[in-house]
Structure 1
């Protein structure tokens, strides 16, 4: 008895080709998900200073606010990429100078954050405290936290978990900086724009006009008013210092916008 072999019709062959192509594209999409490279989409009328935020996915104007969207994935290597899908290219063992260093048990996870900050920041009539969690965003799209650990405890012990670039992830994987982000101050300069707090006022590194800024040079909110490279007419701005409270003092100088995650 002869066995009749199945002969696929032209339409079936076409369907098989499409299925294979879809599978191939899905595989390609999966591989791009492992990249921390970000393309920033900048909307119309966004001031030039906000275009320095190279780690955002989107920056645009919405009424009287600048909206900044970021995935919160550091663009530098860190031990906290260990056991993540980015480990093959972004993991780096600790090689800093803290002899007390101990890696915390958390690992980096992608986190979609939307910052909505005032386009025209102004001093607040009532100054509010900064929140636990993100109080601002760095130019590489990373969250900026205040000077406290959980329950508003000092960073005395937590600082020993900061990686060689000054950051670490919390329990849900949100990588953040409490203090100087050494990757940025090395790459951009000690006097460079580091980011913005939620009230819209900029954060600069620890150097200004060739002088290292100390806490005594700043007000209780950890800033002062003066000319910067980005604001030649002058603006209130925060500075990073080497001692507590590091980035912000007794709350926001201006009225904060919002962050949603």
Structure 2
């Protein structure tokens, strides 16, 4: 019996020793500084060398020296840094006991127990005990193997997918036997662009994400044997599609920079790419109120859903297995924000290489004007939808105010009016045909 209890202890230890601590980001926090009575309320984003990045209630990114903070705040910062670093370390690189090794150990223990049962055929009680324990170990070992290496998960429920993306009037969906397709014009219903302090002079225009250029979500997701980290991959193209039909890109831009920390993103976690294509770099948690608290806010291109923040433990990929053996990602407030590594299998565009490797199928954008470069010290202060397919963007450089009025017609003609602080107007026209 002592041996049996020992083996039970091993089983319990095996099921818990390999769990990964997770989190759901930091709550809004009050920060205190040395040599000052001032405080600010902000979320921690990241620490790079001796610079600490915070985001305040106005979605502005603030930077401070690490030494500016009181000791208790410094300790908090280090704890968050350690946690973030853990989320950027793939499991099989930092643990000798990866999930696959765990599975092998469980199966081996099960086989040993089954052999014990054979040697105790004459002792019915011992035979049954060892047989049952052996079967349990083999079962859990095989289950663990299946759940971590190339295991095909439950298929996505089409009616559930339709209920998520069907909340938004501008989104159309369809499906075949392989993919669930999401069609949109690339323009969200919410305001855009305000709050950007590092602007590359792009403005959002429509894009035809329909037909053969629709976004595609696999109906039958499959776990990857070696999840690809978003820290080293997917800096080109989208990694997920939001419930409102807007693509979500890697939180790192194509230069490997945290787009949020350097002020490239608006109050909704998005901005425009070089083709004037609006997309998110953060999980669009603001969509939660539209889709409902029990629904995902997006789907990753590997087929797994992306939910908002949670109090449940998350694995190194920023996801978790649920009680019904499905898998889902969750958003957090700090980098890497969402999908630290792609848990599911994805196909890579063979014409691309890491870190700018691209998941396919991937909808394509089509701009109408040359792409521009960052405009020094420009800050976007206002953005309005003045009429159907007509917009007005206001930005400031120091105290000077500039306006861009632009829009397009049904024939694919795009008109831009640039208004300088002194009232000078410059017009440009482009055509997409």
Q: Do residues 162 (structure 1) and 265 (structure 2) align?
A: yes
Q: CA deviation at 1:218?
A: 2.0
For residue 315 of structure 2, what is the aligned residue in structure 1? 219
Q: Aligned ranges for residues 1-261 of structure 1 at < 5 Å?
A: 47-51=158-162, 52-54=164-166, 55=168, 57-78=171-192, 80=193, 94=194, 101-102=196-197, 104=199, 105-113=201-209, 114-128=214-228, 129-155=233-259, 157-158=261-262, 160-188=263-291, 192-207=295-310, 211=311, 217-227=313-323, 233-250=324-341, 252-256=342-346, 258-261=361-364
Relative distance call for 1:260 and 1:182 in structure 2 (3 A) is closer
Partner Cα distance (1:61, 1:187) in 2: 23
Whether the 8 Å CA contact 1:103–1:161 is kept in 2: the answer is yes
Assess, with a 3 A threshold, how the Cα gap between structure 1 residues 225 and 117 changes in structure 2: closer, same or farther: same
How far has the Cα of 1:195 moved from its partner? 0.8
User: Where does the alignment leave 5 or more consecutive residues of structure 1 unmatched?
Assistant: 1-44, 81-93, 228-232
Alpha-carbon distance in structure 2 between the residues aligned to 1:241 and 1:48: 28
Judging changes above 3 Å, is the alpha-carbon distance between structure 1 residues 190 and 150 closer, same or farther for their aligned structure 2 residues?
A: farther
Cα distance per residue 1:132-188 (max 9 Å; x no partner)? 221111000111111201222233544x23222222112211211111324313444
The 1:46/1:220 distance shift into structure 2, 3 A limit, reads closer
Indicate if the aligned counterparts of 1:190 and 1:206 stay in contact, CA closer than 8 A.
no
Deviates more, 1:197-206 or 1:63-72: 63-72
- Counterparts of 1:179 and 1:106, CA distance in 2: 18
Is the 8 Å Cα contact of residues 225 and 236 (structure 1) preserved in structure 2?
yes
* 3-state SS of 1:151 partner: coil
Aligned partners of 1:244, 1:191: CA distance in 2, in Å? 24
User: Residue 38 of structure 2 aligns with which residue?
Assistant: none
Q: Over residues 47-82 of structure 1, what are the superposed CA-to-partner deviations in whole Å (9 max), with x where a residue is unaligned?
A: 12211113464322222222222221111122x3xx
Normalized against structure 1, the TM-score is what?
A: 0.62
Please list the CA deviations of residues 80-126 of structure 1 after superposition, one character each: whole Å capped at 9, or x if unmatched. Answer: 3xxxxxxxxxxxxx3x6xxxx52622100112232222102120234
Which structure carries more helix by proportion? Answer: 2
Indicate if the aligned counterparts of 2:251 and 2:337 stay in contact, CA closer than 8 A.
yes
Between Structure 1 and Structure 2, which shows a larger proportion of strand residues? 2
The superposition leaves residues 190-231 of structure 1 with CA deviations (integer Å, 9 ceiling, x where unpaired) of 664111010000000013xxx3x6xxx32222211114xxxx
CA distance in 2, matches of 1:141, 1:58: 9
What residue is the counterpart of 1:20 in the other structure?
A: none
Distance in 2, matches of 1:103 and 1:148, equals 14
CA gap 1:236/1:46 in 2 versus in 1, 3 angstroms: closer
CA distance, structure 1, for counterparts of residue 180 and residue 252 of structure 2: 27
5+ unaligned residues in a row in structure 2: which ranges? 1-155, 347-359, 365-433
Partners of 2:285 and 2:297 within 8 A in 1: no
1:180/1:242 contact within 8 Å kept: no
Look up the SS of the partner of 1:59 in the other structure.
Answer: strand
